[in-house]
Amino acid sequence: MSYTPQEMMLVAAAREIAGHGVVFMGMSHPILAGSLAKRLHDPDIVFCTEGGVIDWEIPEDNPRAPIQVTDPVMYRGAAFCGDMTESLGAGLMGRSLYDLACLPVGQIDRFGNGNTVVVGDYNSPLQRIGGIGGNMDAACCAPAVFWLVPHEKRRFLSRVDFITSPGYIDGPGGRERAGLGPQGPNLIITTLGILRLDTPDGGKTGSCEAYLDAVYPGVTVEEARSQTGWDLRVSGDLRVLEPPTQEELAMLHRLDPLGAYLRAEPA
């Protein structure tokens, strides 16, 4: 069966998201992967998005992922509809709601820091990208983060051009020194495989470095290393993940009937 690296990333992310309880879903790839997880693997996932909708259900007669942050599809069957004081304030900053945040990102680095604002120097950028939205808020405050990002050398840097979304910052103890709470286990789910962050306790100890934990079928370690801007370490028991099933691919496309995500270039 043929499938694209992007489809494999979304399928792998959906499998990882399943079982994580209450999930703060970033727009774009995360909400599509989350919708797939809810639809196929774990109907009990509680979905939340930043505008203020909490516990959204995918409508049976219109089973598509939201295509923007205020998409009215989220109103049908939602359990709670409030505002960002609740979804971002109490939920993230108050650490009272989520088990996990699943986020898109433009660049990511060795210590799992994200950049969603600028390529190059902040004062004279080569390009302004994406936007911050709730990404910074979730990275600062969520108990754990799964990042979804295409595995390309321009995105996988030893140090991101600009930290908008802190991971472990400069390594062990980085979050605590900055005044942030512990976070993890974090994952970086890419178009080649899955990276884990080497810390047993949310960033206090361990190297806090991202290492390759799993690859997709047909992806070599060399390929992953060549698309990574630092000397990528590889797990001693590297896993090779199962390819997407027919069911996963069909549902993925059903959830994105307009191709809003599957046909668009990521930011």
Q: Stretches 2-10, 145-153, 168-176, 218-226: which one binds other proteins (CB under 8 A)?
A: 168-176
**Least separation, in Å, of the C-beta of 74 and other proteins?**
7
Please pick, from the candidates 141, 148, 195, 215, the single residue that binds other proteins as defined by CB under 8 A. 141
Q: 50 an active-site residue?
A: yes
Binding mask 67-96 toward other proteins (x if CB under 8 A, else -) reads xxxx-x-xxx----xxxxx--xx--xx---
Closest Cα partner for 92 from 139, 148, 40?
139
The tokens for 261 are 């995500």
Work out whether the CA dihedral 66, 69, 72, 75 comes out positive or negative: positive
Strands 22-25 and 46-48, by their bridges, are parallel
Q: Of the residues 7, 16, 50, 248, which is catalytic?
A: 50
Strands 80-81 and 53-54, by their bridges, are antiparallel
Rounded CA-CA distance 111/121 in Å is: 20
* Closer residue to other proteins in complex, CB, 130/244: 130
For residue 155, is it left (φ>0), alpha (ψ between -120 and 50) or beta?
alpha
What contacts 94, CB < 8 A, 6 or more positions away? none
**Least separation, in Å, of the C-beta of 178 and other proteins?**
4
Q: Is 182 in the site for other proteins (CB under 8 A)?
A: no
Q: Is 128 in the site for other proteins (CB under 8 A)?
A: yes
End-to-end CA distance of the chain: 28
Rounded CA-CA distance 49/58 in Å is: 13
**Least separation, in Å, of the C-beta of 242 and other proteins?**
35
* Closer residue to other proteins in complex, CB, 7/86: 86
Q: Stretches 14-22, 37-45, 179-187, 225-233: which one binds other proteins (CB under 8 A)?
A: 179-187
Residues that bind other proteins (CB under 8 A): 50-53, 67-70, 72, 74-76, 81-85, 88-89, 92-93, 117, 122-124, 126-137, 140-141, 162-166, 169, 174-175, 178-181
